Amino acid sequence: MARGRIRARLRRSNLYTFGCLRPCTSEEEPHPLQGPGFSRTVHCNQPLVHEKKPLFYCKNDISTTKYNVITFLPKALFEQFRRVANIYFLLAACLSTSSMSPFSPLSMIAPLAFVVGLSMAKEALEDSRRFVQDVKVNRRKVNQHKVNGVFGPRSWQNIMVGDVVKVEKDHFFPADLLLLSSSYEDGICYVETMNLDGETNLKVKRSLETTLTLDNDGAFKDFTGTIRCEDPNSNLYTFVGNLEYERQVYPLDPSQILLRDSKLRNTDYIYGVVIFTGHDSKVMQNSTRSPSKRSTIEKKMDYIIYTLFTVLILISVVSSIGFVIKAKYQSTSWWYLRPDNIDTQYNPQKIGVAGISHLVTALILYGYLIPISLYVSIEVVKVLQATFINQDIQMYDEDTGTPADARTSNLNEELGQVDTVLSDKTGTLTCNQMDFLKCSIAGTAYGVRSSDVELAAAKQMASDLEDEDSDLSNFPMPKTKVSWEDVRRAEEIELESVVTSNSDEDHKQTIKGFGFEDNRLMNVNWLKEPKTDVLLMFFRILAVCHTAIPELNEDTGSFTYEAESPDEGAFLVAAREFGFELFKRTQSSVFIRERLSASGEVVEREYKLLNLLDFTSKRKRMSVIVRDEEGNIYLLCKGADSIIFDRLSKNGKMFLEATTKHLNEYGEAGLRTLALAYRKLDEQEFSDWNNEFQKAKSAVGVDRESTLERISELMEKELILVGATAVEDKLQKGVPQCIDKLAQAGLKIWVLTGDKMETAINIGFACSLLRQGMHQICITTSNSENDGKEIIKDNIINQITNASQMIKLNKDPHAAFALIIDGKTLTYALEDDVKHQFLGLAVDCASVICCRVSPKQKALVTRLVKEGTGKTTLAIGDGANDVGMIQEADIGVGISGVEGMQAVMASDFAIAQFRFLERLLVVHGHWCYKRIAQMICYFFYKNIAFGLTIFYFEAFTSFSGQSVYDDWYMILFNVVLTSLPVISLGVFEQDVPSEVCLQVFSP
């Protein structure tokens, strides 16, 4: 097809989330944006207009550096002389040029210049790396419209507001753009926003229907238009504006906006017009500096420096008093000093001036009590320690080729002082790689394979029971579907599972995303089951209700799926294995190959997409409205069970009781669950609803989203329940062993997760966070909706008080307690009048699990632990929702997993697997803490010893203010002669080998 078109022209009303935006057809009803915050005007394809006031907008070059050529010297000097020790040595160097100085000016100025210069050189080196990265980004090329429909390459830094640019596949967007058209006929494109929000799933963007004709270079020869929109702001998910084009006004929303630093995927090219450039772009508006974190040792070192200053002043005063006494009562008899021709500073007739002069001399003379090279030596040592962490082969992940990364060297020794570890679950303790494991259809449970969580929990329980040599009946069994025989034979079960997975007969286990085992559904055997119509609808919902894109793997001939979440990818793999393969998708249709007979005959069916109501964290569900080949219209819906169950019709609750029971079992087995339902629609009903929906989409205003939500609710009701799915998020390798050893090392482990309580408890058993014999304390709110806030809070306070009392009254010294609390309860527990009671209970427990928590609650819990205990906290996570927690903790650790790099970019240390945390803390944390502590003590010892020899010599020489050492020796003592041995100690000292560090806490 002409110009390499990929897909057939499609109606814009059939597009993705909430459909399309219909233009206003009358100039008499524009949608002007007025008032503060909505003053930006962009003249499309007329960039030079914006160089004049009042439309003068910032350039597109960015700078993330701390300094530039002009500001480096003053800023860097300011940073160095924020340290009190450096200010003292600067004053001493200035005074060394006077006659009161016991040393030559060179002996005072040279060490200060060397130390400050070295620190400034380090700052310059680190900033130069940022500068090189900025230059690399600013010099990227993009095709920009020159004139008369001709596009040519231009550097990002030269792009201006109003420019029309052409971005090609797998390239980043140079600025915030308005999407005009793409290589697809319907003007959609796929965007990866990993650099913005940490999510690896692709987002769908779409252009306005009116700009679809701008589909080639020549079409922009006479293109003009005006965009009136909001001012630059940091909100990534909202955009309010309109486009004035061809004398009509078209409303804009976030689905037409392409943000800087996101990447074009699965689309050959797009055309867009620049709206926000440089530091006005949303990603730069969100680029806040990481909080400044200082180690505990560095803070304590400041107090020691102040103490040494006090000692310095004290001995200087003592020395000056001694000098005054000697000068006033004895110097007159010392004829060899020529008392008739004496300097003012030694004149007994002006003893006050002489005393003050000697005090200045003493402060300079005894200044070597303060180790001038301490700060720079510590910086050198920390950088070298960080290098060893980065090069540790035992923290290198071979699967991904990812080493450990000490992103900051300031907190190395803090790793050895961690008291509490706060961890995310999904992607941190687990792999965030979903396998379809079980399902419930028409009230019947399918899937016989035990999850890894069940097996690990059973194995842990068996191990604990054998260690305690106790009768099984004396211990409560967790609510998982694992029999006592399974507990006794946990190793056999695990071995059997491994052997089975390697057999030729069970090749299904090798399929990524599919761990289902049940012959009742495989190989079209489901046709022999009762209620085949419900089974058929279940499979079709799996295959049709999604936003994924099929991609053919030419090597294997099978399809892979670009899905918005790992769960969705697992559903499509499961549908394919059940005989319902998604093989093609357009913006108007989904094409499925359905295998409906045992003979293997495949039927290709087309489902026309009429509307798609996307998943959001608020809605907790997604729906598609489709028309099948028979002309029937269906709404297919999947979502959280609590949401779906509230929207069932009276006739749709036939399988509700059985499905609820199965969902509870799946949750207790550590599985992630969703409920599936559908509704058949009348033609007239859909037509009336769709008209209202289109009107709501075309509106511009602050209540647009709420209106869309309300209208969506009108359709997503009277549903018929089909069944539920259960997918498994596997534990990462070595997680139970790592947590077990950290617990034996005395660290408290908190898990903050969005899962429900049953799932979190069983994950806790699987990863050794919970153990048999451990007393579980569950703090929850009542389910009554009639209870007021005060009643609920009083109930929570009573639960916390009773639990604290129970712990205090427990006389068993070996008793261990685990606290489990959900997000709703945590909302009340974090209030000012309750949080200290909650923290007091939590610190008395060996393990804490917080369920159903939001990202904000993660950060608040971390802050409470950090400030409430006053001890070192470490937060570890892998996703954008963990950034607040990571930045709030004393030490932030990011997992470089599949959830993008947002957590890693906000972290202080990055590792590829949770199990590496054990070596990072127990080995490197111990070494770094020991080395830095010994190094600082040795620095102070040598300088105090050195300074006191000068004081003793002063007392011997009648406090004459003379130095016992040569000036050059004084210069070299701190900077060279004594620093290098101490630096070597700080870098290479090992009080115990790494193997011993790890074995100390081994069971």
SS3 of 878-943: CCHHHHHHHHHCCEEEEECCCCCCHHHHCCCEEECCCCHHHHHHHHHHHHHHHHHHHHHHHHHHHH
Q: Which of 715, 714, 644, 720 is nearest to 679 (CA)?
A: 720
Radius of gyration of the chain (CA): 35
Q: Which residue has the higher pLDDT, 118 or 452?
A: 118
Question: In the structure, what pLDDT confidence band is assigned to residue 16 with cuts at 50, 70 and 90?
Answer: very low
Q: How many helices (H) and strands (E) does the chain have?
A: 30, 33
- Name the least confident of 22-26, 389-393, 515-519: 22-26
pLDDT surpassing 90 at residue 895: no
What pLDDT score does 499 carry?
Answer: 36
Q: Which range, 337-346, 367-376, 602-611, has the best average confidence (pLDDT)?
A: 602-611
The whole-number average pLDDT for the span 263-292 is 81
**DSSP-derived 3-state class of residue 206:** strand
Q: Output the pLDDT for position 939.
A: 84
CB distance 45 to 162 below 8 Å = yes
pLDDT for 535 equals 93
Average of per-residue pLDDT across 317-336: 75
Task: Judge whether residue 820 has pLDDT over 60.
Answer: yes
Is 424 labelled as part of a ligand binding site?
Answer: yes
pLDDT at position 14, please?
A: 33
Q: Name the residue with higher pLDDT: 195 or 900.
A: 195
Assess whether pLDDT exceeds 50 at residue 471.
Answer: no
Secondary structure (H, E, C), 332-359: HHCHHHCCCCCCHHHCHHHHHHHHHHHH
Q: Residue 174: its pLDDT value, please? A: 92
For residue range 442-460, what is the model confidence (pLDDT) as tens digits? 999 999 888 776 776 676 6
More confident: 4 or 59: 59
Among 49, 380, 357, 22, which residue's Cα sits nearest to residue 209? Answer: 22
Q: Lowest-confidence range among 371-380, 598-607, 991-1000? A: 991-1000
Q: Is 882 annotated to bind ligand?
A: yes
| 842 and 801 Cβ atoms separated by less than 8 Å | no
User: Phi and psi for 748 in degrees, rounded to 5?
Assistant: -90, 135
605 appears as a binding residue in the annotation: no
Place of tokens 């090219």: 269
User: Taking the CA of residue 385 as centre, how many other CA atoms within 13 Å lie in the half-sphere pointing to its CB?
Assistant: 33
672 is in an annotated binding site: yes
Residue 97 annotated as lining a ligand binding site: no
Question: What mean pLDDT is predicted for residues 660-668?
Answer: 87
pLDDT band at 627 (very low <50, low <70, confident <90, very high): very high
pLDDT band of residue 786 (cuts 50, 70, 90) is low
Give CA–CA dist 623/635, Å, rounded: 7
Tell me if 858 is assigned to a ligand binding site: yes
Q: Is the pLDDT of residue 341 over 80?
A: no
Banded model confidence at residue 708, pLDDT cuts 50, 70, 90: confident
Q: So which residues are the catalytic ones?
A: 424
The pLDDT assigned to 491 comes to: 42
Question: Which has the minimum average pLDDT: 126-130, 413-417, 418-422, 522-526?
Answer: 126-130
Question: Which of 199-213, 271-285, 297-311 has maximum average pLDDT?
Answer: 271-285
* Winning range, highest mean pLDDT, from 94-103, 161-170, 363-372, 597-606: 161-170
pLDDT in tens, 728-774: 877 788 888 888 888 888 888 899 887 777 777 777 877 778 876 78
| Contact between 881 and 855 (Cβ < 8 Å) | yes
